[in-house]
């Protein structure tokens, strides 16, 4: 051994450290020394730094250690932490269950001792009492049977507590049960009082509801009758146009424009409710339809003057031959103000053959009004006009023999006799 050492190694120390030196040579081969140059551009200086094999190996070991530490920490956090939390929760649940079981056990034992003492007292009365009536004996026997049944129940529960691993306590203390019972009874009394008050309130609400329904029904009926008068006088004209009041009411409720407002949505109630609500809703729907119809239809005179020529066949003032007159004429001087009779939009404002200067207004539901032979127009096509808006001035333009207003009401472009719309009955 000594000859081997002296032959290949210079000393014993060289022999001992040879494995470490061999490992170091491998490290130096993997991590050779390096130099890198850094240039300070503003000042033009060049710096050279050297990194030894030991420094590079140390940095490598530090990075590997950091990676291993991070991996282990992540593993512990992801796997062991939830497991530890679950075990801790199970332990707390077991402790809580044990605490409840011990409380139940104490309650059962206290009750058991009390029942056993009562049973002894009853037995003593039965055995030692010399004069007992039959009723008293029967009461004592019933009491003994009841007490014995309670004892038997407690024995069963105690046996389950010690033999069944999945035993779940029903309650903690008899005092808590008593408190819970008193609290429930107090709440029940309070609920009874509130229920009685609620019944009284519901009766008062029902009475007020009936009064409100009756009041609104009467108001709706009165207003409906008032609005019905204006529509009644044009019923014949409406029928002649192939319309009905019901159809017009439905259309009026659905009609929308900026001046009349948005459409009306009818209210429908469940058929199981009192039918008075649906009757009220139907009445309100009819009233609203009549109100909107009175607002939409061109009812009234465009100018406060007498009628000089009615709708129908007449002698043509130019030829003297019979010819159909498609409107009615109102007397008026040049410059007389002519007004819109209902809200609408101007769809035409300009010259027309035979009519001269005209204005036509669309009021919705298919009805339009036409003003002819004007001397001046105050509106433009596309304008919205309200009732009373001056749309033009009377004149004698077009095929006219003198100053007047030729006024037409049309349904879907076809003129009809507007007399009922213009005259008040």
Strand locations in 280-382 (E) = 307-309, 312-315, 322-325, 328-331, 337-339, 344-352, 356-364, 367-377
How many other CB atoms sit within 10 Å of the CB of residue 297?
22
Q: Which two tokens stand for residue 176?
A: 């808590």
- Given a cut of 90, whether residue 85 has pLDDT beyond it is no
The highest-confidence range among 48-57, 366-375, 414-423, by mean pLDDT, is 366-375
Q: Which residue has the higher pLDDT, 254 or 278?
A: 254
Domain 307-422 has CATH 2.70.70.10: yes
Q: What is the pLDDT of residue 182?
A: 57
- pLDDT, mean over the chain: 80
pTM for this prediction? 0.51
The highest-confidence range among 71-75, 262-266, 391-395, by mean pLDDT, is 391-395
**Domain range summary for the chain, segments of one domain joined by +:** 2-47, 48-172, 219-296, 307-422
**pLDDT for 166-207, tens place per residue?**
655 554 444 455 555 556 666 777 777 787 777 777 776 666
**pLDDT for 299-325, tens place per residue?**
999 999 989 998 988 888 777 788 888
Alpha carbon separation from 182 to 171, 185, 189, 191 (Å, rounded):
16, 5, 11, 14
- Given a cut of 60, whether residue 12 has pLDDT beyond it is yes
Q: What is the pLDDT of residue 119?
A: 78
Q: What is the pLDDT of residue 356?
A: 93
Q: What is the pLDDT of residue 84?
A: 76
Q: What is the pLDDT of residue 208?
A: 63
Pairwise CA distance, residues 266 & 403, whole Å: 48
Q: What is the pLDDT of residue 389?
A: 94
Instruction: Give the HSE-up count for residue 41: Cα atoms under 13 Å, Cβ half-sphere.
Output: 0
Q: What is the pLDDT of residue 48?
A: 77
Pick from 27-41, 51-65, 126-140: least confident: 126-140
Q: What is the pLDDT of residue 173?
A: 44
Q: Which residue has the higher pLDDT, 336 or 48?
A: 336
- Given a cut of 80, whether residue 49 has pLDDT beyond it is no
Q: Which residue has the higher pLDDT, 417 or 269?
A: 417
Q: What is the pLDDT of residue 130?
A: 66
**pLDDT for 341-377, tens place per residue?**
999 999 999 999 989 999 999 999 999 999 999 999 9
Q: What is the pLDDT of residue 351?
A: 92
Burial class (CB in 10 A: 0-12, 13-18, 19+), 264: middle
**pLDDT for 286-305, tens place per residue?**
888 888 888 899 999 999 99
């Amino acid at each position: 051994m000594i000859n081997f050492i002296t032959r290949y190694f210079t000393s014993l120390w060289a022999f001992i450290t040879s494995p470490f030196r061999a490992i170091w040579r491998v490290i130096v081969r993997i991590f050779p020394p390096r130099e890198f140059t850094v240039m300070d551009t503003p000042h033009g200086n060049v710096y050279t730094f050297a990194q030894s094999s030991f420094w590079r190996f140390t940095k490598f070991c530090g990075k590997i250690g950091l990676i291993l530490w991070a991996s282990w920490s992540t593993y512990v956090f992801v796997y062991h932490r939830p497991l530890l939390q679950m075990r801790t929760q199970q332990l707390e649940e077991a402790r809580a269950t044990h605490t409840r079981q011990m409380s139940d056990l104490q309650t059962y034992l206290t009750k058991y001792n009390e029942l056993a003492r009562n049973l002894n007292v009853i037995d003593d009365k039965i055995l030692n009492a010399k004069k007992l009536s039959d009723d008293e004996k029967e009461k004592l026997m019933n009491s003994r049977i009841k007490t014995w049944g309670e004892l038997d129940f407690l024995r069963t529960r105690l046996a389950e507590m010690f033999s069944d691993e999945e035993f779940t306590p029903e309650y903690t203390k008899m005092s808590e049960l008593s408190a819970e019972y008193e609290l429930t009874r107090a709440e029940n009394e309070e609920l009874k009082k509130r229920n009685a008050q609620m019944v009284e309130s519901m009766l008062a609400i029902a009475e007020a509801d009936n009064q409100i329904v009756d009041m609104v029904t009467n108001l709706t009926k009165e207003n409906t009758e008032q609005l019905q008068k204006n529509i009644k006088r044009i019923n014949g004209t409406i029928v002649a146009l192939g319309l009905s009041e019901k159809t017009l009411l439905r259309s009026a409720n659905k009609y929308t424009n900026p001046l009349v407002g948005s459409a009306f949505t009818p209210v429908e109630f469940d058929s199981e409710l009192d039918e008075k609500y649906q009757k009220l809703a139907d009445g309100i729907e009819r009233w609203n339809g009549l109100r909107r119809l009175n607002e939409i239809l061109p009812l009234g005179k465009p100018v406060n003057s007498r009628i000089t020529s009615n709708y129908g066949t007449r002698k043509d003032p130019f030829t003297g031959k019979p010819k159909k007159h498609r409107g009615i004429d109102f007397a008026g001087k040049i410059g007389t103000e002519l007004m819109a009779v209902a809200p609408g939009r101007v769809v035409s404002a300009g010259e027309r053959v035979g009519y001269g200067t005209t204005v036509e207004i669309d009021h919705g539901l298919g009805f339009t009004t036409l003003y002819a032979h004007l001397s001046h127009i105050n509106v433009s096509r596309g304008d919205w006009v309200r009732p009373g808006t001056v749309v033009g001035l009377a004149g004698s333009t077009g095929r006219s023999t003198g100053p007047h207003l030729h006024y037409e009401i049309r349904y879907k472009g076809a003129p009809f006799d507007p007399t009922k719309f213009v005259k008040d009955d």
